[in-house]
Amino acid sequence: MSNIHTRVHRSYSFGSVHALSTASLDILIDIFHSPPNHETEILEGRVPPRFAVIPEAGPVVIKAYKRGGLISRINNDRYLKVGRIRSRREFEFMLAAEQAGVRVPAPVAYASTGFPFYRTWLITKEIKEHRSFVKLCLTDKEQALALIPEISRNINSLIRNKIHHVDLHPGNVLIDGNNKIYIIDFDKARLYSKTKTRLAITYQQRWSRAVHKYKLPEALAALKIG
């Protein structure tokens, strides 16, 4: 990660693939505190993304990290600094996945503020005209089925490189206006210590559980991996 540019601005720490200008950093910080403009739907995460345009990367998506469960009632967006911050971990796994041939939204930057408890954000390039694979599953089963081999190809690339996404389900696959797929949400990703065969089974089981739980077409449960 020697090519990552780091900078502190207005008490926010940034790491980025581009050397971001002060104006770009100001834009991002202002967006960090803006309200989301829509709600998420099933399998799309608990926090709606925010959008901005910065000169170095063009249109970008800003993801804020929020806690879930009971703890969110008293602390919904702060984490204790132990090791790498969450946004940096996800940023680095996305770079690793990209280098492995997996199509992901291009990572742009990560940011955080506060110590020892911090708030944090991830910035990636926007996928134009995107929709989630889960929406496609519900509206056009045949087109969804046609994309299963490409989704499987990307998952096989993760398996070969022993990257365990952990939460890979139809809501974490985006489709752009040209029907290209992108895998998102590497927040819980980790390097897998067991065999690649076991990892393939784990990916298949997680995907199938989501298909069944959210009553998506049964034919979409079977990936072509392993």
Question: Which pLDDT does position 224 carry in this prediction?
Answer: 93
pLDDT tens track for 29-58: 999 988 776 555 555 555 788 999 999 999
Domain segments of the chain: what residues? 5-125, 131-221
pTM: 0.92
Nearest CA to 52 among 42, 37, 67? 37
Which residue in the list 167, 176, 185, 187 is annotated as catalytic? 167
Q: Are 206 and 198 in contact (CB under 8 A)?
A: no
Question: Which pLDDT does position 61 carry in this prediction?
Answer: 95
Q: What whole-number distance in Å separates Cα of residue 118 and Cα of residue 120?
A: 6
Question: Which pLDDT does position 108 carry in this prediction?
Answer: 98
pLDDT beneath 50, residues of the chain: none
For residue 93, CA distances in Å to 33, 56, 108, 133 come to: 26, 22, 13, 21
176 is catalytic: no
Question: Which pLDDT does position 226 carry in this prediction?
Answer: 83
Nearest CA to 133 among 103, 158, 159, 112? 103
Question: Which pLDDT does position 34 carry in this prediction?
Answer: 86
Q: Are 119 and 78 in contact (CB under 8 A)?
A: yes
Q: Report DSSP letters for 91-160, one per residue.
A: HHHHHHHHHTT---PPEEEEEEE-SSEEEEEEEEE--TT-EEHHHHHHH-HHHHHHHHHHHHHHHHHHHH
Nearest CA to 61 among 131, 108, 15, 118? 108
Strand partners, 7: 14
Question: Which pLDDT does position 49 carry in this prediction?
Answer: 86
* Helix-strand-coil split of the chain, %, nearest 5: 35, 25, 40
Amino acid making up residue 19: A
Q: Are 150 and 113 in contact (CB under 8 A)?
A: no
Contacts of 65 (CB under 8 A, 6+ apart): 47, 77, 79, 86, 87, 119, 120, 121, 122, 187
Query: The tokens 């040209």 sit on which residue?
Result: 178
Question: Which pLDDT does position 95 carry in this prediction?
Answer: 97
CATH of domain 131-221: 1.10.510.10
The DSSP element (H or E) to which 7 belongs, if any, is strand 5-9
Structure tokens at 76: 């919904």
